[in-house]
Structure formats: C-alpha cells, structure tokens
Amino acid sequence: MELYTKADFTALMYQFLDPLKPYYSEGCARLHLGETGAKYKQSTIELEAFSRPLWALVPFWTGGGSDPEFEAIYRKGLAAGSDPESPEYWGRCKNHDHPFWAAEAAPLPALHALKPMPFANMLVQRRAGRVTAYPAGVNQVPGHGQFPEKYAKFAYDTRFGFCASRSREVMEQAAPDSMLAFVIDRNVFVRRASESWKIEKGAVVTTWSPFPGIEVTTTITPTATGHHRHHEVDSAFDCEAYDTGFAVPNFAPDYDETVENHSAEAHCDTLCCKVSSASDEGEGVLIKCDPNTSLYFANVRLPAVKYTLAKGHTVMDTDITDIAEK
C-alpha cells in the first residue's frame, strides 16, 4: 500500500481497526484479543487493548474524520469503564500500581568477559569499561563502500576507534589499523572479506585473500592485555606485509613513541598500543597516517611490525598489547 495522502492513511487505519469490532465487550470498555504473554491482570490487559486504537482514532477525529460506529463504541466504553457501578469499571487511578513500577529493582546480569556471537560472526571482549569486537570479516564481494574499514578489520575498540582509508596507493593514506596489510607494487591490499570463518569460544579463525596468488589463514586469540594473531600465508611471489595495531593520537598530552628491532609502540596520556613479533622476526615501524583518517582523532600514529615474505609458505605470530586508561 502506498501512503501519500490522508485517504491512504485512513484506509490503512481501517485495515487494522475494523477486525477488532467483534472483540469489544458488551459494555465496550474492554477489548479481548486472546491469550498474551503479558503478566498483568486480565482486566488491565483488556483496558490496554481498548486504549491502543485511540492512538489512531483521536488524530482521525481531531482532523475532521467521522466514524459513527467507532464513536459509539468509545462513548459507551468510556462511560462504562469510568462508572464504579458498571461491571466493566476499570477501577480507581493509583500511583505506581502498574506491575512494572511495583517490581523490585534487580541487579544487571553479569556480562561475559569474552563472549562468542556466532550470529553476528564475531567474538566480543569486555575489559575495564571498554569493549573490543573481533569480527570474522563476513561480506559479499563487492560489498558497499569502505566495507574493509567498517567491518573487516581484525579488531574494533570503543576507546581507540578506527581509521577509514583515503586511498590504497600509499600506506599513510591507507591507514590500515588492526589489519594485515600487504604492499604489492606500492599498493596496499587488506582483508576485504573472509572466504571461510569459524567463531570459537576463545578465537576467531578466518581464511581470506587480499590479492590473487596470496592466501591467508588468520587466528585471532584475545588475551588479558590485547590479542594474539597467528597468520599462515601462502604467496605466489615475494612481498611485504604490515601487521598493525590500534591508532594512537599523536597530538594528545604525553604522546611518545618507541621503535625497537621487532616491535613498535605509541602511547599518550590515556591510550597505549604496542605491536611486537612473538617470534622476534620482522621490523618495528610507526606509520604516520594522513590527517583525519581516524574517526576519533585528527592525527594518529599507527604501530606495526613489517614482515618480508618470500614466495611460498610463511608463518607469522604477532602480539597486540593495548591499554586504555579511564
């Protein structure tokens, strides 16, 4: 049904309300629609059912509409429901007598520190007032714009936010935070969508291909201080890959950065991210992302480990340590 005119909305109203007419009580003060899951008294349920159609009828009448049958039903029902001598009397009005307001306050349920969400294709971790999501990167290719940035990173954190690339031509413009970014012919390629995935109790396992001739299996395992990444790469040619962490605002108070042989760290007064090779391989680097690539901060630095991959099979293990002060 197309809803353009007042007549269109009136016709829709009657489609909903006309079937109710046989179910009003004899005095019209109640409307019985069968059994429900509500835990209120039956009289309360039927009073609520009686009142709901007024959300449509009152604007209809106020706007000049007329329906003698419904007008008669509600005149009769309002009179019977408000008459203490009527068998359909609604009762006296009291404060806070609804079961919702009368119920005792209950504590919030305990939240899982680590919870698999298979229907959302992700694993969710809660730590000290923040949440980190580890999605499987499930998508149809080609997907909508900037899907890799929005849904296919290895991790998204409520305190660090994430980056959206300007281009894939140079690393600074790509700003590929929380990704394994391959550089081929000076262009940057990342996980666009997973070919297969598995959400386990303590890990997310995905297979994906950033570029024809490269196949990757990645296992993300959350830890108490961040997460561990295990990559197995089969490449048909030599290339470079950057395993990156969360972006840190470099204009924030107390910002500092450290690059060592196999690790890189960026931290400020409230945030810290360190990326390190678990097998003492690769080269620690800091990527100077273009301004405004981060959704949270105007300027950010991105810690990463740069791996040099030879043609064939390569295994990489990277630890991400992230800290967010309250």
* 213-257 per-position pLDDT tens digit: 999 999 999 999 999 999 999 999 999 999 999 999 999 999 999
Which residue has better confidence, 35 or 69?
A: 69
Q: Which of 215, 214, 217, 193 is nearest to 204 (CA)?
A: 217
- The whole-number pLDDT of residue 218 equals 98
For the cut 90, the answer to whether the pLDDT of residue 37 exceeds it is no
- The whole-number pLDDT of residue 40 equals 76
pLDDT (tens digit per residue) in 86-96: 999 998 877 76
How far is Cα 319 from Cα 67, in angstroms, rounded to an integer?
71
Residues 6+ apart with CB under 8 A from 198: 136, 204, 205, 206
Look up residue 101 and give its amino acid: W
- The whole-number pLDDT of residue 123 equals 96
Q: What are phi and psi of 172, to 5 degrees?
A: -65, -35
Confidence of residue 143 (pLDDT cuts 50, 70, 90): low
pLDDT (tens digit per residue) in 95-127: 766 677 777 888 888 889 999 998 899 999 999
For the cut 80, the answer to whether the pLDDT of residue 307 exceeds it is yes
- The whole-number pLDDT of residue 139 equals 81
Residue 142 Cα to chain centre, angstroms? 21
For the cut 70, the answer to whether the pLDDT of residue 150 exceeds it is yes
Q: Which of 289, 299, 291 is nearest to 268 (CA)?
A: 299
Which residue has better confidence, 325 or 277?
A: 277
The predicted model gives 3-28 an average pLDDT of 94
What are the boundaries of each domain within the chain?
Answer: 6-102, 114-324
3-state secondary structure of 190: coil
For the cut 90, the answer to whether the pLDDT of residue 299 exceeds it is yes
How far is Cα 264 from Cα 299, in angstroms, rounded to an integer?
18
Question: In the chain, what percentage of residues exceed pLDDT 90?
Answer: 80
| CATH architecture of structural domain 114-324 | Distorted Sandwich (2.70)
Which residue has better confidence, 38 or 318?
A: 318
For the cut 80, the answer to whether the pLDDT of residue 38 exceeds it is no
The predicted model gives 183-206 an average pLDDT of 93
Look up residue 326 and give its amino acid: K
CB neighbourhood size of 136 (10 A): 26
pTM reported for the whole predicted model: 0.71
- Buried b / exposed e across 137-169, counting CB within 10 Å, b at 16+? bbbeeeeeeebbbbbbbbbbbebbbbbebbebe
Look up residue 255 and give its amino acid: Y
Residue 175 Cα to chain centre, angstroms? 22
- The whole-number pLDDT of residue 2 equals 82
- The whole-number pLDDT of residue 43 equals 85
- The whole-number pLDDT of residue 94 equals 74
- Buried b / exposed e across 45-58, counting CB within 10 Å, b at 16+? bbbebbeebeebbe
- The whole-number pLDDT of residue 17 equals 96
Which residue has better confidence, 62 or 2?
A: 62
CB neighbourhood size of 76 (10 A): 17
